[in-house]
A and B are shown apart, each in its own frame.
Chain A
Amino acid sequence: MQHSVSIRDLSLSFGSVSVLKDLNLDIGEGEFLVLLGSSGCGKSTLLNCIAGLLEPTGGQIFIRDRNVTWEEPKDRGIGMVFQSYALYPQMTVEKNLSFGLKVAGMAKAEIDKRVARAAEILQIGPLLKRKPSALSGGQRQRVAIGRALVRDVDVFLFDEPLSNLDAKLRSELRVEIKRLHQSLKNTMIYVTHDQIEALTLADRIAIMKSGVIQQLADPNTIYNMPRNMFVAGFIGSPSMNFLHGEIVERGGRPAFATNGVDFSLDGYAAGEALQPGRKVVLGVRPEHVKVDEDGAEEAHRATVDIEEPMGADNLLWLKHAGHSMSVRVGGARRFAPGTAVRLSFDMGLASLFDAGTEERI
């Protein structure tokens, strides 16, 4: 497969502060890649490096197999959409869209054609004569996307484009960006700290932490088979339950023991041997915890502490053997606080981490 964007050993430091460290990343043609991480992890810095707005300290950037490391932003074949929209306030929507083309010295007829096409795709035709100050947030972001669209580029860069919008508009535009990607089939690199955006939009997600990619995989793998505890804890809301314990042997088979309570590890596909005595952390997502109301023996009995009904489902906070843990059950199943339930885990979907390295076992 031809790579649309390739990043080789990219590093960037501001003075003594190292933001990106020997980062390597290959993005396929037409792929939607999301860079996900909390603020300060270097994801926007990486995007700015790809755009050519920041000079890397070391490494190379290839776009369509062309080394663009030293090239100006305009020559890289990229369009960029910013969080604050960054529309030119004194120009009308039409002038905002055509500014880059005019600077490039394109013929008027071609400019008009491209602006009209972008306006049609984004349904901003009626707004062309208005100034940005007369637009709503959602409309402004559409225009900002249009400004990238008219440039007819190979790669779209999005820098948290939806973070300034309210929740309803955000989910609307999210769908629209996905539709845009499906119809245009351009390569898109999308920076966000919102895991829902990442999971819904991405072909692949790169989760970053302090300038290093922690895991690069499709959303399903990221969600169900996180490579380490950082990824496991970052993705999912409410976040994964972590139980500290160790491996024990029960009846010739490995089991997980915490605070004197055993849970069989049958069904867990471990990548390496589970030696008894190894200190581990068991990670279970709230929806993979099973609760039953029929009586349980002392060890696996938990009590419902708080119930948070959310309509479609119901979030329970349980107390068990000194741990607090969250459980997601169907919206129809109601539990009064204080109810005793039997606790078990869906081990096939759980994750086991080494307590020392925090890596997945």
Chain B
Amino acid sequence: MNIRIIKENLVRRAMFGLCLFVFSLIFLMAFGLYQKSKPILAIVSLKDLLFSSSWHPTQGHFGLSSFIAGTFWVTAIAVIIAVPLSILTAIYISEYASGCVRRLAKPIIDLLAGISPIIFGVWGIIAVVPLVRDYLMPFFSRRFSFFPFVSDNYTGFSALTGGIVLAVMTFPIIISVVEEVLRTVPFEIREASLALGATKWQTIKYAVLKKARPGIIAAVILGVSRAFGETMAVLMVAGCSLGVFPKSVFDPAYPLPALIANTYGEMMSIPLYDSAVLLAAFILLIVTALFNMVGWGILLYIERKQASG
């Protein structure tokens, strides 16, 4: 038989195998985590695990709700800060900035994306924590003493701090992707709008952004996914104190990834402890996967709607 054909078959099969391996990893991981968290699910009801906030491993209480709430606080704050800022930055870079500024901005943003999370964490402790402690927290507790701002945590290590640091970490991803997306919008669309006498901002608002919407949503999903799973920097600045259900942006938050990183491997002699922590990991995996799927679903829906009108 022709050696070329053999090679061809071999290469194709090898690559198929590798591809299958990569795909199966996600399922293997999910399955493994599920297996490991089964013991606790057998004893404590899922409802208690998800909605109880009492975390006393020695007494067999493994309520995860404060951790889940912490995750959502930190992520939501990060998204609220990061999404508008980074989309506007991307618009500036791609639509208004001169070629020189654009060429300069791009590598700097990529550099920001490449910095290790621990550095963001340290920066958070020395810069953001004092900012929250000395300015934001006193200001808000004086002027806006109602729901998401009331807190008795004066340390500066809080959900808001974690959110701010996380927002800074998600900037580069969103900016970079949105800028890329804006660049794919045909120049002629802008020309058509400008030729009618629209200002640049009107053109961006009504023509460019509309055309780029699916891509921008994809960018946001990408950013949020990163925010969800980010561990190190958040762990350093978000407070992470046990037994506090975060009711305010100034309360300390203890997100799921931080819980896992902090406690897994310690105190494993406590019954069901590792099972509870791995359940937390399983939940994180599921939530991230769900979020991604919903995001891509929205994206597909919009794309299809745009294609068919």
- Decide if A and B are genuine partners: no
The chain A residues found within 8 Å of chain B, CB to CB, are none
